[in-house]
């Protein structure tokens, strides 16, 4: 029955869109793969614009962007699987699947960035338990395993068993712990005051949620606009609710970002770097186009409830967050570490190379192609009781 | 007596048999391995004082670095320190060149750097050699996820590039920016001996790993001074043992504690709490005026 329904829905036009989707991201995938092979055989020199002064660049930013998006998607899926908010039940499986795809996308970027990725075996053989980096790798590894297991339970229709609930809880734990540790990788670097912050883990968790909300909304709407046109009225209700959550999360993020910048500008140690940051165009784009503009879009009900409003807002949020991840890495690296060394008292500047952009595109293509495959073959939409859930049932949103 | 003779005969028989088998084995190995001469001869001085030409293939360079596990132990009952006399440095850059040559580093990579330092606008500039500080509480060791960077009992901080994953977190965490990444995938130079890698020599550098000044522990094991110390024509760099309270620049040997007390020794960026093993003597009573350009002494 489902198959037949799918066949009817897939008009010729939609098939063409699917082919365009796969071709576009397939080209990105192949280009990225060839670039990765070149990096593994010839080294990073000449390929990346990172230097000894700025060792972390766009690939690390891409990694952070995707793994935090993954955590955010898990937070959203947990609304139903852990906090029992029925409204979100229909999208729980999709969120978990997207979270898995985002993890793969992030890991690919990280592996290409590593100098000797095969030595990752030493994570197991000679672990340094005192290193945040070790804990980040371990927690994200375990998190991915739990995510896959959780998805398998949802795929076989087990939404409400004790095992499934426990799995949801454990997955949520790792979805919180891993980005918090990732935040501490920057937040605990004492020697780089622009990184140093006890709020970094909290900021990472907050922006993870923001990233997850925006990503879910954007991919869902874009994919279904082009490929499948089956966003039901009930789904529209869920996405309206997600748009409200998005507005709230953007608001809190603006608050955090403003105070992070004010603190940075006031601290004598970090003010040169933050002044450089504030006067840069990427920062203005991040704040005004990535946060303020979508915030206004999402607080106006008439815009919030339209697909176009949601799409534009989530697109700008994601663009802003992506720029923000790179800026977050850069602000701690552009300022010279050792003062008094006259030739080093200048700011180092960095702009990603074409190859680094290709690696970012490679990661994105992995996510989007995996997602397309999941949509087509893994019944991400199917839920036995979906039709019975109404907005009033949720007990979370009364006004609609 | 008879029994002793028998025993000796048996020993000699066994000895000859073992030698014959070894010789046969070596010969067989040579034949089956199908090794051919490289076709390139090198000139060597024989023990008899004659100049002889042999095929390059037969020239073996002795392995000069300790194994990975030995490298981690350090030299017992030693704690190495370096003292840099800033009043003597005139940026001859011989330390940089000596280090680069010994560690087979490309020209753009410097494990010891000489910076133009100026503490404030009012004070005079001076030259400031900056090696790895081999900290007592090294931030790099703490952050390395796989213990590729380690601190030994003798105070030396080394990197096992065979284990390094190339995450560069140590470069982010180091307050002194003394680490560098091996960005290039270099083909082994045919002219260079193909030594196996040792963390004590740091050569041949592994592409995709991090490198830095290592205090030349392979030389220290042989009782020699690091390359930068011996290369410096001005005697700027002193090296020695903290426990023995003595440091030397190759020409003069001084008491470490006296130097620190009498010459106002200090450690760079000490407020980070990293407890560096490198000390500086301030650039006071300079032996020559500061000149901007490099001086080839």
Smallest CA–CA distance, residue A335 to chain B, in Å, is 12
Q: Is residue B297 one of the residues assigned to a domain?
A: no
Return d(Cα A327, Cα A340) in angstroms, integer: 25
Indicate yes or no: CB of A126 within 8 angstroms of CB of B115. Answer: no
Output the pLDDT for position B3: 58
pLDDT tens per residue across span B140-152: 999 999 999 999 9
Question: Mutation test of the interface with chain A: which of B183, B272, B293, choosing the one with the most A Cβ atoms within 10 A?
Answer: B183
Vertex B241 angle, CA B239 and B244, to 5°: 135
Based on the domain organization, do B200 and B264 belong to the same domain?
A: yes
Domain boundaries, chain A: 14-378
Q: What is the mean pLDDT of residues A313-318?
A: 96
Q: What is the mean pLDDT of residues B2-25?
A: 54
DSSP of A334-375, one letter per residue?
SS-SSTTBGGG-S-------HHHHHHHHHHHHHHHHHHHHHH
Return d(Cα B60, Cα A54) in angstroms, integer: 40
Set of chain B residues whose Cβ sits within 8 Å of the Cβ of A44? 181, 183, 208
Smallest CA–CA distance, residue A170 to chain B, in Å, is 24
Residue A393 has pLDDT above 50, yes or no: no
Phi-psi label, residue A46: left if phi above 0, alpha if psi -120 to 50, beta otherwise: left
Based on the domain organization, do B135 and B227 belong to the same domain?
A: yes
Residue carrying structure tokens 């593994």: A40
Q: What is the mean pLDDT of residues A176-190?
A: 92
A125 or A399, greater pLDDT: A125
Output the pLDDT for position B186: 61
Q: What is the mean pLDDT of residues A43-53?
A: 90
Return d(Cα B208, Cα A41) in angstroms, integer: 11
Output the pLDDT for position A188: 85
Based on the domain organization, do B44 and B126 belong to the same domain?
A: no
Task: Give the whole-number percent of chain A exceeding pLDDT 70.
Answer: 87
Based on the domain organization, do B168 and B243 belong to the same domain?
A: yes
**Cα B68 off chain centre by:** 14
Set of chain B residues whose Cβ sits within 8 Å of the Cβ of A332? 172
Residue B85 has pLDDT above 80, yes or no: yes
- Please give the helix or strand (H or E) that residue B31 lies within, else none: helix B2-33
Q: Is residue B144 one of the residues assigned to a domain?
A: yes
Residues in chain B: 297
Tokens coding B16? 């000859």
Domain boundary among B39, B58, B77: B58
Q: Of A172-181, A224-233, B41-50, which has the strongest mean pLDDT? A: A172-181
Return d(Cα A200, Cα A103) in angstroms, integer: 21
Output the pLDDT for position B44: 60
Based on the domain organization, do B166 and B231 belong to the same domain?
A: yes
Return d(Cα A175, Cα A235) in angstroms, integer: 25
Output the pLDDT for position A392: 45
Residue A197 has pLDDT above 90, yes or no: no
With CA atoms as reference, report the closest residue to B96 among B208, B277, B236, B290: B236
Based on the domain organization, do B192 and B237 belong to the same domain?
A: yes
Q: What is the mean pLDDT of residues A126-146?
A: 96
Residues in chain A: 400
* Residue of chain B with shortest Cα separation from A338: B176
CB within 8 Å of chain A, chain B residues 225-284: 269, 272
Residue carrying structure tokens 């839920």: A383
Residue B187 has pLDDT above 60, yes or no: no
Output the pLDDT for position A228: 60
Based on the domain organization, do B118 and B161 belong to the same domain?
A: yes
The 10 Å Cβ neighbour count of residue A104 is 16
Smallest CA–CA distance, residue B125 to chain A, in Å, is 9
Whether the CB-CB separation of B155 and B277 falls below 8 Å is answered with: yes
A386: pLDDT confidence band, cut at 50, 70 and 90?
A: very low
Return d(Cα A18, Cα A14) in angstroms, integer: 6
Return d(Cα A247, Cα A298) in angstroms, integer: 5
Q: What is the mean pLDDT of residues A66-73?
A: 96
Based on the domain organization, do B197 and B274 belong to the same domain?
A: yes
Hey, what's the torsion of the CAs at A188, A189, A192, A195, to 10 degrees?
-50
* Residue of chain A with shortest Cα separation from B271: A191
Of A42, A128, A192, the CB nearest to B185: A42
Set of chain A residues whose Cβ sits within 8 Å of the Cβ of B144? 128, 131, 133
Q: Is residue B289 one of the residues assigned to a domain?
A: no
What CATH code is carried by the domain that includes residue B266?
A: 3.30.70.20
Return d(Cα B232, Cα B295) in angstroms, integer: 12
Residue A396 has pLDDT above 90, yes or no: no
Output the pLDDT for position B27: 43
Q: Is residue B293 one of the residues assigned to a domain?
A: no
Say if A43 is an interface residue toward chain B (CB within 8 Å): yes
Tokens coding B191? 């002219």
Based on the domain organization, do B206 and B84 belong to the same domain?
A: yes
With CA atoms as reference, report the closest residue to B140 among B212, B86, B72, B206: B212
Tokens coding B271? 């407020």
B26: pLDDT confidence band, cut at 50, 70 and 90?
A: very low
Q: What's phi and psi for B283, nearest 5 deg?
A: -80, 60
Cα within 13 Å of Cα(A218), Cβ side: 19
Based on the domain organization, do B43 and B135 belong to the same domain?
A: no
Residue A12 has pLDDT above 60, yes or no: no
Indicate yes or no: CB of A133 within 8 angstroms of CB of B269. Answer: no
Smallest CA–CA distance, residue A333 to chain B, in Å, is 8
B2: pLDDT confidence band, cut at 50, 70 and 90?
A: low
Q: What is the mean pLDDT of residues A117-141?
A: 95
Based on the domain organization, do B188 and B83 belong to the same domain?
A: yes
Return d(Cα B90, Cα A61) in angstroms, integer: 42
Domain boundary among B40, B58, B76: B58
Whether the CB-CB separation of A342 and B125 falls below 8 Å is answered with: yes
pLDDT tens per residue across span B226-266: 999 999 999 999 999 999 999 999 999 999 999 999 999 99
Residues 6+ apart with CB under 8 A from B79: B154, B155, B241, B242, B243, B277
* Fold annotation for A14-378: Formate dehydrogenase/DMSO reductase fold (1.20.1630)
A389: pLDDT confidence band, cut at 50, 70 and 90?
A: very low
Based on the domain organization, do B83 and B20 belong to the same domain?
A: no
Instruction: Note the pTM of the prediction, 2 decimals.
Output: 0.84
Q: What is the mean pLDDT of residues A209-230?
A: 81
Domain extent, residue B187, equals 68-281
Query: How many domains does the structure of chain B reveal?
Result: 2
Residue A213 has pLDDT above 90, yes or no: yes
Return d(Cα A62, Cα B53) in angstroms, integer: 57
């Amino acid at each position: 029955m489902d198959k037949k329904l799918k066949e009817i829905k897939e008009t010729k036009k939609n098939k063409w869109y699917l082919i365009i989707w796969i071709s576009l991201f397939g080209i990105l995938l192949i280009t990225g793969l060839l670039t990765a092979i070149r990096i593994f055989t010839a080294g990073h020199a000449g390929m990346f614009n990172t230097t000894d002064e700025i060792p972390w660049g766009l690939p690390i930013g891409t990694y952070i962007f995707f793994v935090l998006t993954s955590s955010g998607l898990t937070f959203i899926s947990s609304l139903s699987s852990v906090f029992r908010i029925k409204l979100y039940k229909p999208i729980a499986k999709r969120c978990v699947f997207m979270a898995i795809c985002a993890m793969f996308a992030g890991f690919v970027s990280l592996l290409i960035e590593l100098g000797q990725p095969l030595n990752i075996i030493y994570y197991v053989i000679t672990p340094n338990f005192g290193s945040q980096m070790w804990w980040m790798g371990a927690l994200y590894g375990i998190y991915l395993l739990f995510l896959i297991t959780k998805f398998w339970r949802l795929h076989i229709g087990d939404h409400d068993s004790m095992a499934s609930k426990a799995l949801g809880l454990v997955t949520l734990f790792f979805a919180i712990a891993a980005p918090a540790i990732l935040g501490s990788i920057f937040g605990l670097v004492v020697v780089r005051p622009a990184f140093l912050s006890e709020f970094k883990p909290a900021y990472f968790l907050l922006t993870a949620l923001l990233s997850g909300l925006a990503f879910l909304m954007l991919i869902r709407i874009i994919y279904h606009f082009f490929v499948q046109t089956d966003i039901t009225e009930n789904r529209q209700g869920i996405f309206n609710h997600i748009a409200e959550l998005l507005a709230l999360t953007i608001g809190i993020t603006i608050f955090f970002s403003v105070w992070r910048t004010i603190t940075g500008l006031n601290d004598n140690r970090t003010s040169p770097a933050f002044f450089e940051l504030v006067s840069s165009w990427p920062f203005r784009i991040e704040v005004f186009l990535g946060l303020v503009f979508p915030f206004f879009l999402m607080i106006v009900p008439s815009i919030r409830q339209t697909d176009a409003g949601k799409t534009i807002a989530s697109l700008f949020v994601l663009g802003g967050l992506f720029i923000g991840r790179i800026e977050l890495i850069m602000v701690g690296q552009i300022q010279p570490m050792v003062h008094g060394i006259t030739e080093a008292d200048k700011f180092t500047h960095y702009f990603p190379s074409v190859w680094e952009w290709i690696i970012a595109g490679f990661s994105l293509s992995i996510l989007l192609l995996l997602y397309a495959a999941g949509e087509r073959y893994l019944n991400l939409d199917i839920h036995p009781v979906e039709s019975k859930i109404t907005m009033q049932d949720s007990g979370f949103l009364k006004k609609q | 007596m008879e029994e002793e003779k028998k025993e000796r005969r048996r020993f000699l028989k066994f000895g000859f048999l073992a030698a014959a088998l070894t010789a046969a084995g070596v010969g067989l190995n040579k034949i089956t391995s199908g090794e051919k001469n490289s076709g390139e001869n090198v000139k060597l001085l024989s023990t008899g004082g004659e100049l002889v030409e042999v095929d390059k293939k037969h020239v073996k360079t002795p392995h000069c670095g300790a194994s990975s596990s030995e490298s981690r132990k350090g030299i017992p009952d030693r704690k190495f320190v370096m003292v840099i006399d800033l009043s003597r440095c005139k940026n001859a850059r011989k330390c940089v060149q000596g280090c680069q040559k010994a560690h087979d580093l490309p020209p753009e990579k410097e494990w010891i750097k000489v910076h133009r330092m100026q503490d404030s606008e009012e004070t005079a500039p001076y030259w400031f050699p900056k090696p790895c500080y081999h900290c007592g509480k090294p931030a790099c060791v703490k952050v390395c996820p796989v213990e590729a960077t380690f601190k030994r009992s003798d105070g030396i901080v080394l990197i096992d590039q065979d284990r390094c994953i190339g995450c560069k977190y140590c470069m982010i965490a180091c307050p002194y920016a003394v680490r560098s990444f091996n960005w290039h995938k270099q083909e082994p130079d045919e002219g260079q001996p193909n030594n196996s890698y040792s963390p004590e020599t740091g050569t041949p550098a592994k592409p995709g790993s991090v490198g830095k000044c290592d205090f030349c522990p392979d030389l220290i094991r042989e009782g020699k001074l690091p390359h930068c110390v011996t290369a410096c024509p001005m005697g700027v760099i002193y090296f020695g043992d903290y426990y023995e309270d003595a440091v030397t620049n190759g020409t003069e040997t001084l008491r470490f504690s006296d130097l620190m007390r009498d010459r106002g020794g200090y450690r760079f960026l000490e407020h980070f709490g990293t407890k560096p093993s490198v000390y500086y003597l301030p650039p006071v009573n300079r032996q020559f005026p500061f000149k901007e350009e490099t001086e080839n002494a």
